[in-house]
Amino acid sequence: MNAAASTQQEIFRKRMPIVVTVLVLASVGLMGRLVSFQLPFDPAVQSYLDQMRDAGYTRTLELAAARGNIYDRHGEVLAVNTLEYRIGASPNLVSDARVLATELALILDLPELEIYEKLTADTQWELLAARVPAETAARVRALDAVELTMEAVPRRSYPQGPVGSQLIGFVGGDLIGYFGVEGYYNDQLRGRVREREVSNIPFDVPILDWQEDRGSDVVLTIDRDVQYVAESELLNAISTTGAVSGTILVMNPRTGDILAMANFPTFDPNVYSEAQDTRVWNNPAISAQYEPGSVMKVLTVAAALDSGAITPDYWYNDQGILSQAGIEVRNWDRAAHGAVDVTQILVQSLNVGAATIALDMGTTEFYQGITDFGIGRLTGVDLEGEQPGQMHVPGDEEWSESNLLTNSYGQGVAVTPLQMLTAVNAIANGGLMMQPRIVYQIIDGDTVIPSRTANLGRPISAETARIVTDMMVEVVSSGLDDSAAVPGYTIAGKTGTAEIPTAVGYEQASSIVTFVGFLPADDPQISVLIRLDRPREYWSSLTAAPVFRRLTERLVILLEIPTDAVRFQLAAEGGAVSEIRR
């Protein structure tokens, strides 16, 4: 053996232990790794591997629980749930895409080419139709095609159609409530949204209970029959007066319960997306702000009496014009009426009289009194979209001394119909102003949660309310030629005819007319507001007042409100009628 070979062997012998050691360590490492595979993975790693494994076979769906139903005060259904279906397909299972595409195109009313492209796509699952009616889904199911999947999707249905649509609102395609009760009480109605892993394999159909975690039911103060009568009378009024829009409100002044809230134009919440103008989704009864005109005079008189600025014996010399604060206030008839007492200010609806009273009160007492009636602030009604109206007061940049005069007879101040009726309700309710409400109770499973009545304060005393009520009775009995009178009942009411403001003044020959009234005057069961926009006849006494009469003639029968004679007879016999029977 030569020296070179001997050296190589020596090097080999020295390196052999190192190589063996490395091999042994590597073997131990491999054995350890093999053993580790038998142990549980880190949760994060395991979740990632599961997602990778199931990515092509499952998908995560957000499933909305069934919404709660909406009922009127007598249990009549106003909003319920129905089922539609989401239709999908697994392209890798389709045997004859052309035939299936032809059949589905006829049933789903979709382009055949579009369906064919989805049935031949290189994916695990394709959505063919997002929302299909139950009857259409039944036709798809009759194809008996295992490559198709159908998943139930809840849909909102409104059995009464457009009746009460703007106060109820609607549910969008995202299953969220918008406007009205659906919007305001969305959290209570919608239930809990759940996430579910569902298979893309049509043979593995999950069983899902969409009634699980359903929302609460909501019972409204609305009376469906009263709502229908109000809407039918409003449509008749629009037709006969030529008005372009309008609102009718019916309330119980004692509780603040809204019995009807009718508007025109309106829409069908079942097909809300077909509305030509989406502004129709808004509820004008709580969002349309307008100058109320002479209806405001009853608040001016009530506030003045309550503050002591005037007494029921108050009178002034009406000369037909009042020049003050840089403006001239004139009566509607441009006439001077001489010696006029406070009752005749309302009966003859004299602007000069209202402005004179406001001057006697002064800015502080006047604006405090009108603010106490809630003018210029939200009523807090439980509906989405309420507006507060607008009334500038001393200290505001837009206020001037002339506002004191014009505000007294309803000009330069904006209200909503509900705000105006709520204020007049304080007079009907002995001076106590109740907060309007639309929900009577919420039913959450076996738990019934009543909606509490709440008052917004006492703007006037009971005695002042009685005095002003008597004046409003005189308005109807001797100031309107029976246009608002209902035989057998004593009515308290007031008309309002307002000009329509523009950016540079007021429209010519156009008006917004209002009539507010309640009955029976001595024991009010209902209060009503009629508003019509731009009728052919300019004055409220010729348009809104007759609508009030026709409506209340139907309501006293529907609500079984006895005549004055019957009530007085009951009282003489020791009985009483204290509330609406319905």
Per residue in 208-227, pLDDT (tens digit) is: 444 567 899 999 999 999 99
Cβ atoms within 10 A of the Cβ of 48, count?
Answer: 12
476 plus 353 within the same structural domain: yes
133 plus 279 within the same structural domain: no
190 or 23: which leads in pLDDT: 190
Per-residue DSSP letters for 23-39?
HHHHHHHHHHHHHHTTS
Establish if 291 belongs to a structural domain.
Answer: yes
Domain hosting residue 551, numbered range: 224-572
113 plus 228 within the same structural domain: no
CATH code, 456 = 3.40.710.10
Q: Each residue of 232-275: pLDDT tens digit?
A: 999 999 999 999 999 999 999 999 999 999 999 999 999 999 99
Instruction: Determine the Cα–Cα distance for residues 541 and 61; give it in Å rounded to an integer.
Output: 59
Beta carbons of 517 and 528 less than 8 angstroms apart: yes
438 plus 351 within the same structural domain: yes
**What value does the mean pLDDT take over residues 105-110?**
92
CATH code, 88 = 3.30.1390
Beta carbons of 529 and 556 less than 8 angstroms apart: no
**So what's the pLDDT on residue 38?**
64
Residues whose CB is less than 8 angstroms from the CB of residue 104 and which lie 6 or more positions away in sequence, other chains included: 110, 115, 128, 140, 143
Establish if 66 belongs to a structural domain.
Answer: no
Residue 345 in this model has a pLDDT that exceeds 70: yes
19 or 553: which leads in pLDDT: 553
Report which of 371, 374, 377, 373 is spatially closest to residue 394, judged by C-alpha positions.
371
Beta carbons of 129 and 236 less than 8 angstroms apart: no
Residue that is last in its domain, among 108, 138, 159: 159
What confidence tier does 202 reach under pLDDT thresholds 50, 70, 90? very low
229 plus 143 within the same structural domain: no
Count of residues for the chain? 582
Establish if 196 belongs to a structural domain.
Answer: no
228 plus 148 within the same structural domain: no
Residue that is last in its domain, among 137, 159, 181: 159
Beta carbons of 24 and 32 less than 8 angstroms apart: no
Residue 147 in this model has a pLDDT that exceeds 90: no
275 plus 388 within the same structural domain: yes
Establish if 7 belongs to a structural domain.
Answer: no
> Exposed/middle/buried for 511, CB within 10 Å: 0-12, 13-18, 19+?
buried
Of 131-145, 186-200, 411-425, the poorest mean pLDDT is in 186-200
Residue 353 in this model has a pLDDT that exceeds 90: yes
Establish if 58 belongs to a structural domain.
Answer: no
206 or 117: which leads in pLDDT: 117
Residue that is last in its domain, among 115, 142, 159: 159
228 plus 149 within the same structural domain: no
324 plus 402 within the same structural domain: yes
Q: Each residue of 443-473: pLDDT tens digit?
A: 998 999 999 999 999 999 999 999 999 999 9
Establish if 481 belongs to a structural domain.
Answer: yes
**So what's the pLDDT on residue 49?**
59
Q: Each residue of 49-101: pLDDT tens digit?
A: 566 555 555 555 555 678 999 999 999 999 999 888 889 999 988 889 899 99
Instruction: Determine the Cα–Cα distance for residues 26 and 509; give it in Å rounded to an integer.
Output: 101
Establish if 271 belongs to a structural domain.
Answer: yes
Instruction: Determine the Cα–Cα distance for residues 186 and 75; give it in Å rounded to an integer.
Output: 20
116 plus 240 within the same structural domain: no
Mean pLDDT over each residue of the chain, to the nearest integer: 89
Of 37-51, 131-145, 360-374, 508-522, the poorest mean pLDDT is in 37-51
**So what's the pLDDT on residue 207?**
44
What confidence tier does 154 reach under pLDDT thresholds 50, 70, 90? confident
The percentage of the chain sitting over the pLDDT mark of 70, rounded to a whole number, equals: 87
What confidence tier does 29 reach under pLDDT thresholds 50, 70, 90? confident
What confidence tier does 205 reach under pLDDT thresholds 50, 70, 90? very low
Residue 582 in this model has a pLDDT that exceeds 60: no
485 plus 391 within the same structural domain: yes
**So what's the pLDDT on residue 52?**
59
What confidence tier does 336 reach under pLDDT thresholds 50, 70, 90? very high
**So what's the pLDDT on residue 55?**
55
**So what's the pLDDT on residue 203?**
42
371 or 59: which leads in pLDDT: 371
Number of domains in the chain: 2
> Exposed/middle/buried for 17, CB within 10 Å: 0-12, 13-18, 19+?
exposed
Establish if 216 belongs to a structural domain.
Answer: no
Q: Each residue of 544-571: pLDDT tens digit?
A: 999 999 999 999 999 999 999 998 888 8
Report which of 159, 162, 165 is spatially closest to residue 182, judged by C-alpha positions.
165
327 plus 422 within the same structural domain: yes
Rounded to two decimals, the pTM is 0.82
Q: Each residue of 441-451: pLDDT tens digit?
A: 999 989 999 99
